[in-house]
Amino acid sequence: MKSDTSEPLVLSAIKSVADDQPNFEVIVYRSCEILASIERWDHASSESPFVMDIIRRVQEQGANFKDAIRSSRESAQHGSKFCADFVTLLEVLGDSSTSRAEIRDHIHSMQRIASEAHASAQSAAEMFQVIRHGIYDITSDVPGEVVKLEAKQKHVQRKLDISERRAQRVKVVKAVSAAGAAIAAGVSIVAFPPAMIVLPVQKREKEKTSYEEQIGVLKDVADTMVEFGSAVDFFAQYWIRMETILHVVNDRVDDLRGKKHLKMRLMTIKKDWEVVNSNFLDYVHKVSRL
């Protein structure tokens, strides 16, 4: 049996894990901000094929973000079960009538939960990172594509000018639809619709805005995801600490089980884990409504 001097250290470690929990408030708050910006693109439209391509790319990242939120919610659900089991573990550690084998079986069950939760949280963290890079890519690619589009427009305009001079008296149609084309002196003149985006404002209301303005909004979203990503990464790393503390407790069962002088401390720490459980449940509830 290990020395009783390890008891305070083990209990302090258990309490430390409970105290240093993920910042669910930041994750929920930033999730709401990000979704509010991205979800508007779900019903966005544009006459410009160039802008429609941007819209489709943003919509794809929006769908991915929702999938990642669901994965983080799954991890939090595991977290709630884990915390409830940890509360039970602290109770049975203070009860000498519970056998070592029963306690270790309970710990092994918790280790499986922690492993599943860690996998879900890590998957969500990786998904959020990919999404952030995807949004950055959109905001980085667009300026270059705009330059190409403007060059193409100028090229077509030059052809139009030449055709007008050659045709002289031939009237050239200067305004055509997005899908239309005019033929003048053998030159095909393709229309370039304005690069505008129509976005929903409220139910049944929409506003027309430039793609440049909305690219600026996307840059803000990507910047917001930096803080958001840090909180999510911590959530994933938190499970490593959960798994570690279980190994420590499993190795110290004989030091902790049924010790009367530890019972009060165990009950105090138990309350801390009940708070963590409540926070996990609150997170699950809030993200389920997003």
Would you list the DSSP string of 167-187?
A: HTTS-------TT-EEEETTE
The total number of structural domains in the chain stands at 1
Give the model's pLDDT for residue 163: 62
Give the model's pLDDT for residue 178: 36
Instruction: Tell me whether residue 188 is in a domain.
Output: no
Instruction: Tell me whether residue 13 is in a domain.
Output: yes
Between 157-166, 194-203, 273-282, the lowest mean confidence (pLDDT) is in 194-203
Domain around 42? 6-145+195-288
Measured CA to CA, the distance from residue 141 to residue 51 in angstroms comes to 12
Contact 230, 50 (CB under 8 A): no
pLDDT over threshold 60, residue 69: yes
Give the model's pLDDT for residue 284: 95
Question: 137-175, pLDDT tens digit by residue?
Answer: 888 876 655 555 555 656 556 666 666 666 554 444 444
Tokens representing residue 17 in the block = 């894990």
Instruction: Tell me whether residue 128 is in a domain.
Output: yes
Please, which residues have CB within 8 angstroms of residue 181's CB and are 6 or more apart in sequence? 188, 189, 190, 191
Between 105-114, 186-195, 239-248, the lowest mean confidence (pLDDT) is in 186-195
What is the average pLDDT value for the chain, to the nearest integer? 81
How large is the average pLDDT for residues 174-191? 35
Give the model's pLDDT for residue 184: 29
How large is the average pLDDT for residues 85-101? 93
Give the model's pLDDT for residue 175: 40
Q: pLDDT grade, residue 260 (50/70/90)?
A: confident
Instruction: Tell me whether residue 150 is in a domain.
Output: no
Instruction: Tell me whether residue 269 is in a domain.
Output: yes
Helices (H), the chain: 6-19, 24-38, 49-93, 100-167, 211-251, 253-256, 260-288
Instruction: Tell me whether residue 190 is in a domain.
Output: no
Give the model's pLDDT for residue 192: 39
How large is the average pLDDT for residues 220-245? 92
Q: pLDDT grade, residue 122 (50/70/90)?
A: very high
Instruction: Tell me whether residue 181 is in a domain.
Output: no
Measured CA to CA, the distance from residue 147 to residue 51 in angstroms comes to 14
Instruction: Tell me whether residue 96 is in a domain.
Output: yes
Give the model's pLDDT for residue 100: 92
How large is the average pLDDT for residues 102-123? 94
Give the model's pLDDT for residue 164: 62
Give the model's pLDDT for residue 191: 38
